Amino acid sequence: MAYLTLRNINKIYPNGYHAVHDFNLEAEKGEFIVFVGPSGCGKSTTLRMIAGLEDISKGEFLIDGQLANQWGPRQRGISMVFQSYALFPNMTVFDNLAFGLNLQGVDEDEIENRVNKTAKILGLTDYLDRMPRALSGGQRQRVAVGRSIIRKVGVFLMDEPLSNLDAKQRVTMRSEITQIHRETGATTIYVTHDQTEAMTMADRIVVMKDGYVQQIGTPYELYFHPRNVFVAGFIGEPPMNFIRPEVHNGCIRFGDADLDLSKVEKDLKGQEGKKIVFGFRPEGISLAPVQDAYKIEGTVELTEMLGDNANIYMNVGSDKTILKVAPDEIPQMDSRLTFYIPYENVYLFDHETEKVIHG
């Protein structure tokens, strides 16, 4: 039996706004699950329903098999880290970490032992007597995480905890949070709009859009086997390239090339005469000739040197395309460039439903 179970969870506000639609998820003990999606997709609202900070309008929420819809936040054995650090500015790091334990009436010796142990895990031992204002953003975030994990609860909820940090601090904190999760063994549900955080931290990812779950799966499953256009375009950086041509005699036009779709998918009878969504990832191409691939030509519009790789922005007929290549493969601006899309790297989606046909 799953440790956390959400069955057909809905959130409908008094004004009629339906924020979350029929959310279903089973989370195992010790699993790290990330909710990801654009702003306003319902991920934080769902997290707050799990925490008991928002009422569940419809559906069932179970903790270890017991219905918990009416339980208060304290009864649920859940600890939450918010986007803002929410530290007490007039308390030292030690007192901030100890605050929850003091409220629980924990013995002073036990408090000191647990604060010191938590501080060691988070690299805060030398900062225990400092006030929050004397800490960097990353250090404040570690205190906020420490205040959460020190309570030894079964579930950690994190609502975009790294959004206030700079790029370097986010990379450091990602690895630290992942390590803390491994050491505590708690079930962690983490909310972010950053797909890089989701891909690098999660055991499983829940992709949301407009209050609906689009797909749940491992990072590998979402990257290589997206169920629809939204997931395919949201996961991956740069995002997947899409063109929307019409199918005629089983072929589509991409720039000056006629592409025979039977090379990648035999059964496309229902698509004849209709538009189809043809997708490929920027990194799923080759600049050198390869067998079993579509040959495409276009004009280089812009290049970006990123160190270990480079992005090439191209015009292919009336379509815009991004290619991701090695830094020594950067072409000249405004030059003509030929690239190859291996059949195995092609994705096809229905134009109307945007559900995957092949990929």
The arithmetic mean of pLDDT across residues 162-190, rounded, is 84
Residue 301 identity: E
* Cβ–Cβ < 8 Å for 316, 294: no
Residue 19 identity: A
Q: Assign residue 356 a region: left if phi > 0, alpha if psi is -120 to 50, beta otherwise?
A: beta
Strands 78-81 and 155-159: parallel
More confidently predicted of 123 and 252: 252
pLDDT at 50 over 90: yes
The arithmetic mean of pLDDT across residues 14-20, rounded, is 97
Strands 187-192 and 155-159: parallel
pLDDT grade for 1, boundaries at 50, 70 and 90 = low
pLDDT at 324 over 90: yes
- As a whole number, the mean pLDDT across the chain is 92
pLDDT at 23 over 80: yes
For tokens 């799953």, the residue is 2
More confidently predicted of 296 and 141: 296
Alpha-carbon distance of 303 to 305, in angstroms, equals 7
Does the predicted model carry a pTM greater than 0.85? yes
* pLDDT tens-place string over residues 56-104: 999 999 999 999 999 998 889 888 887 777 789 999 999 999 988 888 8
- In terms of Cβ atoms closer than 10 Å to its own Cβ (0-12, 13-18, 19+), residue 82 is middle
Alpha-carbon distance of 128 to 110, in angstroms, equals 16
CB crowding 256-275: b at 16 or more within 10 Å, else e: eeebebeebbeebeebeeee
* Cβ–Cβ < 8 Å for 339, 296: yes
- Return the pLDDT at 48: 95
More confidently predicted of 214 and 107: 214
Alpha-carbon distance of 359 to 341, in angstroms, equals 14
pLDDT at 29 over 90: yes
Lowest mean pLDDT among 175-184, 227-236, 335-344: 175-184
- Beta partners for residue 295, in sequence order: 340
pLDDT at 26 over 90: yes
pLDDT at 45 over 90: yes
- Among 159, 225, 239, 169, residue whose Cα is nearest residue 192: 159
pLDDT at 165 over 80: no
Contacts of 71 (CB under 8 A, 6+ apart): 52, 63
Domains of the chain: 4-234 (3.40.50.300), 241-358 (2.40.50.140)
- Among 175, 201, 159, 187, residue whose Cα is nearest residue 121: 175
Distance of CA 138 to the CA centre of its chain: 21
DSSP 202: -
pLDDT at 246 over 70: yes
- Beta partners for residue 20, in sequence order: 11
pLDDT grade for 350, boundaries at 50, 70 and 90 = very high
* pLDDT tens-place string over residues 258-272: 999 999 998 887 899
pLDDT at 169 over 80: no
- Return the pLDDT at 185: 85
The arithmetic mean of pLDDT across residues 181-196, rounded, is 90
- Return the pLDDT at 77: 85
- Mark out the alpha helices in the chain (DSSP H runs): 43-51, 93-103, 108-122, 137-149, 167-184, 195-201, 219-224, 229-234
Where are the strands (E) in the chain, listed by range?
Answer: 4-12, 18-27, 32-36, 58-63, 66-67, 78-81, 155-159, 187-192, 204-209, 212-217, 241-243, 251-254, 257-260, 276-280, 293-305, 310-316, 319-325, 336-342, 346-350, 356-358
